[in-house]
Amino acid sequence: MTSADNETPGLRLLELLELLARAGLPQSLAELLPQSPWPKPTLHRMLQQLEAGGWLQREPDGRRYVLAGRARALAEATLSGSAQAGVRHAVLRALVADIGESCNLTALSGAEVIYLDRVETAFPLRLELRAGTRVPLHCSASGKLFLAFAPARQRRQLLDGLRLTRHTAQTLDSRERLEAELARIRHEDLAVDDQEFVEGLNCVAVPVREPGGGKTAAVRCAVALQAPSARLPLAQALGLVGRLREAAAALARSL
């Protein structure tokens, strides 16, 4: 972070948003103070300004701040509309051309998964979903992937707030079963949706990590394939994981 000297107020607010985004967890004034170059009264005033503008919101405890909808929308729009968006779309197009099934790029948005980009299969039997679509965390492959690799405190907070709605007979609708699945995902470095969100639809997702950090790097996004189980049984879909990982590596380089 740059020195607090000679900064404009607007730049300071942006730097505070950046600090909170990098933290990845709700932060209180006391927790932010040693991480920032500003005195306590200035930091308190900045938090109030960002909250009043809809950029931050407080946790139910009233002390900790998290990014609000306005900040998340800006992040999603930046990621979707950046100069690299064309590169990412080309990677997805090549992936779909290779495997023949719909593929998407997703990110964590609050307590949901958002589709940043998607390329549909040419097969007439498909579930068409557009960029901007949101799906639940607990019953989507990407959502479970984000839960599995979130920092422990963030994962616990997300799980505490989730309603494990049963969408199909396969949905993991208990905390115990879901946490066991998250442990498996961390071990195998991939997630599946075995008809858990939509009956007859399979999905396999792999992480897109921060470039250069290997398997310990933070998960930024996920790339996933989605196909009707009648056309692509889950066992066959898992045979395409290697190609998904290649695409994830290419997508990571575009971030």
Structural domain boundaries in the chain: 9-67, 73-253
Query: pLDDT grade, residue 3 (50/70/90)?
Result: very low
Q: Tens of pLDDT along 192-217?
A: 999 999 999 999 999 999 887 777 88
pLDDT attached to residue 83: 43
**What φ, ψ does residue 97 adopt, rounded to 5°?**
-65, -35
CB 149 within 8 A of CB 186: yes
CATH entry, 73-253, from 3.30.70.260, 3.40.605.10, 3.30.450.40, 3.40.50.1950: 3.30.450.40
Query: pLDDT grade, residue 10 (50/70/90)?
Result: confident
| Letter string b/e over residues 187-203, b meaning 16 or more CB atoms within 10 A of that residue's CB | eebbbbbbbbbbeebbb
Q: Which fold has domain 9-67?
A: Arc Repressor Mutant, subunit A (1.10.10)
Residue 233 amino acid letter: P
**What φ, ψ does residue 215 adopt, rounded to 5°?**
-70, -15
CB 182 within 8 A of CB 148: yes
Mean pLDDT score of the chain? 88
Query: pLDDT grade, residue 70 (50/70/90)?
Result: confident
Most confidently predicted of 69-83, 105-119, 236-250: 236-250
Q: Is residue 139 classed exposed, middle or buried when 0-12, 13-18 and 19+ CB atoms within 10 A define those classes?
A: buried
- Regarding pTM above 0.85, the answer is no
Per-residue 3-state assignment (H helix, E strand, C coil) for 90-151: HHHHHHHHHHCCEEEEEEEECCEEEEEEEECCCCCCCCCCCCCCEEECCCCHHHHHHHHHCC
How many Å is the maximal CA-CA distance in the chain? 63
SS3 content of the chain, % helix, strand, coil (to 5): 45, 20, 35
Whether residue 5 is predicted with pLDDT greater than 60 in this model: the reply is: no
Residue 28 bridge partners (DSSP): 64
**Strands 219-228 and 201-209: what pairing?**
antiparallel
Alpha carbon distance 115, 133 (integer Å): 5
Q: Tens of pLDDT along 136-193?
A: 999 999 999 999 999 998 899 899 989 999 999 999 999 999 999 999 999 999 999 9
pLDDT attached to residue 78: 66
Q: Tell me the average pLDDT across 113-129.
A: 83
Lowest-confidence region among 11-25, 36-50, 66-80: 66-80
Alpha carbon distance 226, 162 (integer Å): 24
Domains 9-67 and 73-253 share a fold: no
Q: Tens of pLDDT along 83-114?
A: 457 788 899 999 999 999 999 999 998 889 98
